[in-house]
């Protein structure tokens, strides 16, 4: 089989590596891919959002199956366009990708179907939002841009002034373009966060092993929000009882709600949950695998990924085994100094091969040049190790990550520490 993977981050590298394990796979194209994927995939110089370009490439290169891993092409209808020309593709159709593409839609869906989430109001006019913030709101609260905003459209506001300036930036100054024309203002929830990725074909839903992201840039969960500085799996806060409750109160009702709306979801649905005193509540839905959650979840998958992905497209997930190892995994992200604000690119990277001996080194912001692998983004690499215990996985991941060097690199040193503490309590 010939496979095309759309995207070029650490998540896509992890997906490609797993798909390559299937003996039927002869060739993997990646558009645009990255420096690490270049070792076993053919890179295609197309942007992940170029729907027409990707469809025509898939047609002319006899591609049998496409994995659309990134949110924006899914929201642009890339899976619909591929299916229209008879090419099966993993990921939701545009109508279903809306569950991530519009937070107003997702919140209203949860309200209509009684799915637990934070209390909220939605606003289409700046004046109405400001009036609400001045007269009725309770702080802290959370202001969210409706549309896709590269993970930057969520602001936690402790004060009225901060909330008003957030709403002004979104709705008046159009800091996030069309994505901020409508906003959600919601109740601030507290509790540990859990990411649960789930395969679904619209009928059956199969949650993967749970994970914990570390979104802040610096140790101790301080500093700016990033795309994710590291992950561990499983997430010790996510006990068997909570998992059962989430299945009954959140996962199945969400799949059913999407069916009733005529928006059947097929692919990977990401549930960002907060475990509150009142039980698990949805913080966000994503219509795709998480990054860097995928980098700890897929190394623990024992079943064949391509077979499971095909089952989500064919509607046969109920007959397809999806098994995970009982081990733990830890992924440490190595970033460019200055990320997530501004950073330089083009630095040579050394030590990848040594690190690869005991870990998976997933590339994210790298490029293969004549001079070797160089940095080309903010999050450069994700180093994942698996082991029998979480503590061992963490040690192994850091040992491997410490072998990698490039100018101005940095990583958090405390990935997994909160999870270790939670393990002691649970
Ligand atoms: P998102 O960009 O939707 O992933 O949100 C970024 C982060 O903001 C989440 O991971 C949470 O830590 C935080 N967050 C989002 N919504 C809420 C909420 N209602 N209460 C507390 N924290 C939230
Ligand atoms: N790690 C969070 C996300 O993928 O959205």
pLDDT profile of the chain (426 residues), mean per 10: 98 98 98 97 98 98 98 98 98 98 97 98 96 96 93 90 96 91 96 98 98 97 93 98 98 98 98 98 98 98 98 98 98 97 97 97 97 96 98 98 98 98 86
Residue range of the domain that includes 339: 328-425
**Count of structural domains within the chain:** 4
pLDDT of residue 232: 98
Q: Are residues 405 and 360 in the same domain?
A: yes
Q: Are residues 182 and 199 in the same domain?
A: no
Q: Are residues 222 and 295 in the same domain?
A: yes
pLDDT of residue 151: 75
Q: Is the CB of 189 under 6 A from ligand 1?
A: yes
Q: Are residues 136 and 84 in the same domain?
A: no
Q: Are residues 181 and 204 in the same domain?
A: no
| C-alpha 118 to ligand 1 mean position (Å) | 10
Q: For ligand 1, what atom is nearest to the CA of residue 152?
A: 2
Q: Which ligand is nearest to the CA of 193?
A: 1
Q: Is the CB of 294 under 6 A from ligand 2?
A: no
Q: Is the CB of 286 under 6 A from ligand 2?
A: yes
Q: Are residues 314 and 336 in the same domain?
A: no
Q: Is the CB of 100 under 6 A from ligand 2?
A: no
| C-alpha 284 to ligand 1 mean position (Å) | 7
Separation in Å, CA 259 to CA 95, 106, 197, 237, 262: 11, 14, 19, 30, 5
Residue 88 DSSP code: -
Mark which of 171, 187, 203 sits at the end of a domain: 187
- The whole-angstrom separation of Cα 21 and Cα 23 is 6
Q: Are residues 222 and 301 in the same domain?
A: yes
Task: Judge if pTM exceeds 0.85.
Answer: yes
Q: Is the CB of 284 under 6 A from ligand 1?
A: yes
Omega cis (within 30) before 234: yes
Q: Is the CB of 216 under 6 A from ligand 1?
A: no
Of 367, 363, 383, 386, whose CA–CA distance to 375 is shortest?
Answer: 367
Mark which of 284, 319, 354 sits at the end of a domain: 319
Q: Are residues 124 and 183 in the same domain?
A: yes
Q: Are residues 132 and 48 in the same domain?
A: no
Q: Are residues 279 and 345 in the same domain?
A: no
114, part of any domain: no
């Amino acid at each position: 089989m010939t496979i095309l993977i759309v995207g070029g981050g650490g998540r896509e590298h992890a997906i490609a590596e797993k798909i390559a394990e299937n003996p039927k796979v002869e060739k993997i194209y990646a558009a645009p891919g990255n420096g690490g994927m270049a070792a076993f995939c053919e890179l295609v110089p197309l942007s992940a959002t170029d729907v027409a370009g990707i469809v025509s490439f898939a047609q002319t290169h006899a591609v049998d199956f496409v994995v659309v891993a990134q949110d924006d092409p899914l929201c642009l209808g890339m899976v619909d366009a591929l299916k229209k020309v008879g090419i099966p593709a993993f990921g939701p159709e545009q109508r279903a990708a809306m569950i991530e593409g519009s937070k107003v839609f997702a919140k209203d869906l949860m309200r209509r179907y009684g799915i637990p989430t934070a209390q909220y109001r939605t606003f289409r006019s700046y004046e109405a939002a400001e009036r609400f913030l001045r007269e009725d709101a309770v702080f802290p609260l959370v202001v969210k841009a409706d549309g896709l905003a590269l993970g930057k459209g969520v602001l936690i506001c402790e004060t009225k002034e901060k909330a008003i300036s957030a709403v002004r930036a979104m709705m008046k100054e159009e800091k996030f373009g069309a994505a901020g024309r409508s906003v959600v203002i919601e109740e601030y929830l507290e509790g540990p966060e859990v990411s649960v990725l789930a395969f679904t074909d619209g009928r059956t839903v199969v949650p993967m092993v749970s994970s914990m992201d570390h979104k802040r840039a610096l140790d101790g969960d301080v500093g700016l929000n990033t795309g994710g500085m590291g992950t561990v799996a499983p997430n010790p806060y996510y006990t068997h009882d909570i998992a059962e409750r989430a299945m009954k109160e959140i996962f199945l009702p969400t799949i059913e709600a999407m069916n009733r709306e005529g928006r059947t979801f097929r692919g990977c649905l990401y549930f960002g949950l907060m475990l509150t005193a009142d039980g698990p509540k949805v913080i966000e839905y994503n219509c795709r695998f998480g990054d860097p959650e995928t980098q700890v979840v897929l190394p623990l998958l024992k079943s064949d990924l391509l077979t499971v992905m095909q089952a989500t497209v064919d509607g046969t997930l109920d007959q397809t085994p999806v098994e995970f190892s009982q081990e733990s995994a830890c992924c440490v992200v190595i970033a460019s100094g200055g990320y997530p604000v501004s950073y330089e690119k083009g630095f040579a990277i050394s030590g990848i091969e040594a690190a690869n001996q005991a870990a998976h080194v997933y590339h994210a912001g790298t490029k293969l040049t004549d001079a070797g692998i160089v940095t080309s983004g903010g999050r450069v690499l994700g180093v994942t190790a698996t082991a029998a215990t979480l503590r061992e996985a963490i040690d192994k991941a850091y040992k491997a990550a410490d072998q990698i060097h490039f100018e101005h690199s940095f990583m958090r040193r405390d990935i997994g520490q909160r999870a270790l503490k939670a393990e002691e309590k649970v």
